[in-house]
Amino acid sequence: MAERGAHLTTTAAPAEDRPSVFEVLAQDSLMSAVKPALLHAVKILATSNPARYGVLWRRFDEIYAILDVLLQHHFLSRTSASFSENFYGLKRVGEDSTHAAHLGLRRRQHWRSLFLLALLPYLHTKLEKILARQRDEDDFSIRLPQSFMQKLYRAFLAAYPFVCMAWDGWVFCQQLLYVFGKTRTHSPLLWLAGVKLSYLTANDIRSLDLKPSGPALSPSQSFREKFQRLVSAAVGGVAVSLSSSLSIGVFFLQFLEWWYSSENQSTVKSLTSLPTPPPPLHLHSQETSPSHIKVCPLCRKVRTNDTALATSGYVFCYKCIYVYVKANHRCPLTGYPSGLQHLIKIYTPDG
């Protein structure tokens, strides 16, 4: 759907085949607004029914990466562009091409682009979560004598912010050079893929209309070839469905960007805060004694090192709730999504 409507965003290619910086930055921000919207929808589902939809919340990064690979592979194969690039009437061509008279990327350029578009963001997200979890564990753990690998790991933790700062500086310099026409790509990712962006032409749009929607089967083909073509057709169908859904929902992304903006975070937090859980049933059915109140809901023993879980308000032994939340990422009583950062130490006068 998006590839057939690409001509709506640009009526005619300008004399200069190089897109403006506003167009390339707009297509960059398009897909970055999709993931937070889907993540918020999955969070609502997981909160409303943790037993059924909790797996979507726990495996969101993997599910999103698979769908993103299918979507980007489909558009790179058919339009030589990612979904967002095609939506803005752009395409990818080799850096060594003097002009882009036809669609089609080389095999190496295609797979490099697919890796940098879909798989690299997934790896970056997982690395950020692993580092954040390790930092939380370091805050709650006792420093022991370190081995060489542990020292190397801590050195990586210390250097990682500077690596991110260097990358952001490279991106900024690349965009600044692109504005002044000193480079052919606005992003280091395009440079690493060996491609540059160009406008779709009228011939490109006509060739898209002439492309068959699915592979044709012939009686002379072997069973393996037929199976591969059927799998390719199924994957293409999923990608087309994703493309149609995103093409319809893309007009609401500006609203979603405002919704998740820093100026609107206070409103978002007030509307999406978790409800206060009801008190335990045993408090109504029997008399509560001080010893009964101090029982941990997990080990059923008197609590030691009292720790509250901020997402639900229940109090546990620190060891019990730490091990459970680290393994299951949710409250054991309410099922609310939780992390180690939600553990709150309770200090008592007799402690």
Where are the extended beta strands (E) located within the chain?
90-94, 195-199, 306-309, 315-317, 343-345
pLDDT given for residue 94 in this prediction: 83
Cα separation of 311 and 221, whole Å?
58
Q: Identify which of 74, 86, 143 has the alpha carbon closest to the alpha carbon of residue 114.
A: 74
Which regions of the chain carry the CATH code 3.30.40.10? 292-350
pLDDT value, residue 248: 58
Q: Do the beta carbons of residue 3 and residue 247 sit within 8 Å? A: no
Rg (CA), the chain: 26
Cα end-to-end span (Å), the chain = 64
pLDDT 10s digit of each residue in the chain, 351 long?
445 444 444 444 444 578 888 888 888 887 777 788 788 878 888 888 888 888 888 899 999 898 888 888 888 888 888 888 888 888 888 876 654 445 678 888 889 999 999 899 999 998 888 888 777 766 655 555 567 777 787 788 788 889 999 999 999 999 999 999 888 898 999 999 989 898 888 787 777 665 655 555 455 556 666 666 666 666 666 666 666 666 556 556 556 566 666 566 666 666 666 666 666 555 444 444 455 568 899 999 888 888 999 988 899 999 999 999 988 888 999 888 888 888 998 887 665
Distance separating alpha carbons of residues 261 and 308, to the nearest angstrom: 30
Q: What is the pLDDT of residue 280?
A: 58
Check residue 99 and give its pLDDT. Answer: 47
Residue with tokens 């730490």: 322
- Give the pair of three-digit tokens for residue 275: 């409800």
Q: What is the CATH number of domain 292-350?
A: 3.30.40.10
Encoding tokens for residue 182?
Answer: 């000193």
CA angle 124, 130, 134 (to 5 degrees): 145
Buried b (16+ CB within 10 A) or exposed e, 134-171: eeeeeeeeeeeeeeeeeeeeeeeeeeeeeeeeeeeeee
User: Would you put residue 89 in left (φ > 0), alpha (ψ -120 to 50) or beta?
Assistant: left
**pLDDT score of 324:** 93
Q: What DSSP character marks residue 336?
A: -
Sheet holding 306-309, edge to edge: 315-317, 306-309, 343-345
Q: 239, 245, 231, 247: which is closest to 74 by C-alpha?
A: 239
Q: Answer yes or no: are the C-beta atoms of 310 and 337 closer than 8 Å.
A: no
Handedness of CA 309, 314, 315, 317 (dihedral sign): negative
Q: DSSP readout, 61-77?
A: HHHHHHHHHHHHHHHHH
Residue with tokens 């918020």: 40
The per-type count for the chain, helices as H runs and strands as E runs, is: 16, 5
